[in-house]
A = this chain, B = another copy of it.
Amino acid sequence: MARAVKRKTGAAAVRLPAELTQARRFSKTRSAQSSALLEDYVELIADLLTTGGEARPTDVARRLGVSHATAIKTIARLKREGLAPGRPYRGVFLTQEGQKLAARVRTRHRLVVDMLLALGIPAEAAEADAEGIEHHASEATLKAFAQFLQSREQN
């Protein structure tokens, strides 16, 4: 295309900013994707901690449907990123920062599920889709979801 600039003179120049915009969108999606896994781990660990008082790598692995080795490796990444402290063989916990992230993620998760349910989507599909969708919902989208739900409640 760059070689074609001299062929299709006019339109190409105009389309350039659109290319940048689209590239930025994809870039945003990639970045969301890279935090998605950590978000799910933190959310799940928080859930295990509140429910059972402890979060063990094996439990995390079983709930996520991955091997315990995979879970342990990712938990190590949580530790590296300052989201989870913890000594070896002692279960996982969350730092203040980890807890804050967990709270945000849990709220968001519920909002997305509720929205899908409100649209009449069957429960299991709503839960499954939400697990992926949640990581790509911007603040603007979350706000719109909340407003939609609120307007629904009023009738």
Residues of A within 8 A of B (CB): 1-2, 8, 19, 21-29, 32-33, 36, 40, 52, 56, 58-59, 62-66, 116, 119-122, 124-129, 131-133, 135-138, 140-141, 144-145, 147-148
Contacts and interface: CB of A to CB of B under 8 A. Distances in A.
A28 B135 contact: no
Q: State the oligomeric state as a number of copies.
A: 2
Contacts of A40: 26
Given A125-B141, A144-B119, A24 B65 contact: yes
Given A144-B116, A144-B121, A135 B138 contact: no
A132 B33 contact: yes
B128 A19 contact: no
Given A23-B64, A131-B25, A138 B125 contact: yes
Contacts of A119: 141, 144-145, 147-148
A26 B19 CA distance: 33
Nearest to A28: B128
Given A1-B58, A26-B40, A58-B2, A141 B120 contact: no
Contacts of A121: 140-141, 144
A137 B58 CA distance: 30
B56 A26 contact: no
B132 A65 contact: no
A63 B23 contact: yes
Identify which of A1, A29, A33, A135 gathers the most chain B CB atoms within 10 Å of its CB. Answer: A29
